[in-house]
Structure formats: C-alpha cells, structure tokens
Amino acid sequence: MRTRSRRRALLVGAVAGLAALPAPRIARAQGGAAASWPEDRVTIGTSLPAGSSVDITVRAMSESLARRWGKPVVVDNRGGANGVLACEMVARARPDGLTLLATSAMTHAANPSLYERLPYDPIRDFAAVTRYLNAAFVVMAHKGLGTPTLDAFVARLRREPGRHNCGWGSVPSRVATELLRMLAGFDAVHVGYRGNQAGFPDLLNGRISFMTVDVVGAKPLIDRGAVDALALTQAERHPALPGVPTSAEAGMPDYLFTTWSGIYAPAGTPPEIVAKIHADIVTATGSPEVRARLDALGGLREPPSTPAEFAAFTAAEIESWGRIIRRAGIRLD
C-alpha cells in the first residue's frame, strides 16, 4: 500500500509540475515576439499616391517609427485602382507585422459596395491596428448662384431640378455629394474630374454649381472668398475654417460625413505585435512634428483607436457607406 501511495504521490507531483511549466514559457514566448520585433525593415503600403494625405501622414509617422524600432520604415506607394493594389499586396503578405497598410475609407468602407468582386476582404484579410485621422467636407457653391446659405441653395436647386451640375473628383467627394442630394431632396447632373482640384475652374466660372470637397482642398477657395461655403459635414466647427457653419448650424443636422485614415496589418498577425505597433503609432502621432503635419492637412486628429475599436468601426463604416452607394447606384466595375 505504501508503495502504491508513493507512486500516486509521485505521479500527482509530476503532473502538477508539468502543468506549472508551460504558462511562463508561453508568456515569455509571446512577450518575446513583441520584444524582438521588428527583425527587419517595415514596409507600409499606401493606397493613395505620393503627395496624398495618406502618404504625407505616413511619411511623417515613418520617421518617428524608424527611430523607435531601430529599423528602416519604407513607404511603398501603391496608388491606383481605387486602392485595390495596395490592399491586395498587404492582404497577401506574411502576417509578421513587417508589411502594413496605410489607407482611407475608400478601400475599407466604399470599395466593398463599389465593386461586385474585390481581391481582398476588408474584414477577413486584415487585422485592424488604429484609426488616427478624420477629414470632413465643405459644400461650396458658385458665387453667381446668389445662395450664400445652405437653405437658399437647397431651395433653388429644388425649384430648378436637373438644371444644375455638381462636380466631384474622388469617390469620397461623390458619396458626400450623394448624401447631401438624398437628404435635401434635389436633383443635379454629375460631372466627374480627375481629382477635385481639376473641377475648381468650372466651379469658379459657373459651369458647375457646387462641389463637396475635403477641408484641405476647399480652404484656399474659401479663404479667397471665391465661393460660398455653405456647410461643414461634421458636428463642430473646424479650426482651419472657423467661419464655415456646421451642417447643424446650417439647418441640416443629419448631414454628417467624414472620411478617415488608418493602419492595418495582414490577418493573422500576432496580437502582441499588433499591440506594439498600435502603441508606437500612438506615440508617433502624439509627437509635435507629426501633430503639426496632421494639422496642416486640415483633418481632425483622432485619439488613436484601439485595434478592437477600429475593427468594429470598420465594419460599421462598410454598412454606412454602402447604404449611400447602393441607393445612389454608384458602381466602378
């Protein structure tokens, strides 16, 4: 009996000892993955070309991140095909955190409804890291319309259906314009341009009656007094355009619409590496030099969202943008 009891005690002790060993080893392995990351240079693919807001902000952050990581950070511009090329590159990359995506609402909120088929899934193929910038739009009307307020503008377009042209040079601008048209209940003829700025001469000479443009693009025209700035598509006034009323102040409180910028990693990237990238981006965007560049773009800096918050936000934005795009019948394929 003593021999059997002794064997049982030894067995219980051995099992207990084995059970106690893996936990610290796993913890050390998980902590080590983030502690030793990155082992090589980090590539950030951008969905928009050089000189775009996404490109400018990422290049500002990359300098700070390279110093923190002790490795080069390479910005790889993959503009074109509405950001599909950049998304496809990152979605197919190894999930080790060494290839990241810097993009906007265009690829992860608009494209799922603009295309019948995409070579990537904005939810399944990516690990959300953080959203760090919001950008609102301004409704700008041709001076010759004689409609200095949103109410006057909407009233005129309702009285004259189909007689006015609206211009846009980007998908977000078109979606913002469509939302305005739906909420206000007027019709206008769409005129597309290769970039919003390409439409400005026609706005100034009256060939088109209005445009809905991001704050950065709108500010020079507004500062010159060349257009009537009717409303800003966010809840608070913008520090770069303090004289432009919000949509609520202009009489249309439901007209809230912003685009945004954020960072994603390939799906399957270890959570501890995603957490490290997130923490370092929070530090980078909080530095004075990066803050200055973000402010110069006219966007409103977001307190960087957590990965979980950004993932939930992305899913909600797909639905929100999709409702407008489907109702307007916009397709790109």
Task: Work out the pLDDT band at 31, boundaries 50, 70, 90.
Answer: low
> 190 and 102 share a domain?
no
Per-residue model confidence as pLDDT tens digits over 159-176 = 999 999 999 998 999 999
- Phi (first) and psi of residue 60, to 5 degrees: -65, -45
Asked whether residue 168 is domain-assigned, the answer is: yes
Asked whether residue 81 is domain-assigned, the answer is: yes
Whether residue 248 is predicted with pLDDT greater than 70 in this model: the reply is: yes
Asked whether residue 202 is domain-assigned, the answer is: yes
CATH of the domain at 82: 3.40.190.150
Asked whether the beta carbons of 71 and 40 are under 8 A apart, the reply is yes
Pick the more confident residue, 308 or 239: 308
Whether residue 241 is predicted with pLDDT greater than 90 in this model: the reply is: yes
Segment 67-88 mean pLDDT:
93
CA distance 139 to 170: 14
pLDDT score at 33: 67
CATH of the domain at 208: 3.40.190.10
Q: Which residues contact 113 (CB under 8 A, 6 or more apart)?
A: 318, 321, 322, 325, 326, 330
Pick the more confident residue, 32 or 289: 289
Per-residue model confidence as pLDDT tens digits over 190-217 = 999 988 999 999 999 999 999 999 998 8
pLDDT score at 133: 86
Number of domains in the chain: 2
Instruction: Give the range of the structural domain holding residue 140, as residue numbers without chain letter.
Output: 136-232
Asked whether residue 6 is domain-assigned, the answer is: no
Asked whether residue 10 is domain-assigned, the answer is: no
Whether residue 14 is predicted with pLDDT greater than 90 in this model: the reply is: no
> 127 and 192 share a domain?
no
CA distance 172 to 212: 9
> 92 and 128 share a domain?
yes
Asked whether residue 294 is domain-assigned, the answer is: yes
pLDDT score at 275: 97
Each as own residue / partner, the long-range contacts of residues 300-303 (CB below 8 Å, 24 or more positions apart, any chain) are 300/133, 300/134, 300/135, 300/136, 300/234, 300/238, 301/132, 301/133, 302/131, 302/132, 302/133, 302/134, 302/260
> 187 and 228 share a domain?
yes
> 160 and 116 share a domain?
no
> 140 and 228 share a domain?
yes
From 109-118, 160-169, 294-303, 322-331, the region with the lowest mean pLDDT? 294-303
Whether residue 236 is predicted with pLDDT greater than 50 in this model: the reply is: yes
pLDDT score at 311: 98
Whether residue 301 is predicted with pLDDT greater than 90 in this model: the reply is: no
> 159 and 192 share a domain?
yes
> 141 and 98 share a domain?
no
> 110 and 169 share a domain?
no
> 126 and 141 share a domain?
no
pLDDT mean across residues, the chain:
88
pLDDT score at 232: 97
Beta bridge partners of 266: 126
Asked whether the beta carbons of 118 and 112 are under 8 A apart, the reply is yes
Give the tokens for residue 326. 């489907």
Each as own residue / partner, the long-range contacts of residues 232-241 (CB below 8 Å, 24 or more positions apart, any chain) are 232/136, 232/137, 232/138, 233/136, 233/137, 233/138, 233/139, 233/176, 233/257, 233/258, 234/134, 234/136, 234/258, 234/300, 238/136, 238/298, 238/300, 240/215, 240/298, 241/138, 241/215
Asked whether residue 250 is domain-assigned, the answer is: no
Task: Work out the pLDDT band at 291, boundaries 50, 70, 90.
Answer: confident
Asked whether the beta carbons of 239 and 155 are under 8 A apart, the reply is no
> 158 and 113 share a domain?
no
Segment 45-58 mean pLDDT:
85
> 160 and 128 share a domain?
no
Asked whether the beta carbons of 170 and 79 are under 8 A apart, the reply is no
Whether residue 2 is predicted with pLDDT greater than 60 in this model: the reply is: no
pLDDT score at 201: 97
pLDDT score at 173: 94
From 84-88, 139-143, 236-240, 299-303, the region with the lowest mean pLDDT? 299-303
Asked whether the beta carbons of 289 and 59 are under 8 A apart, the reply is no
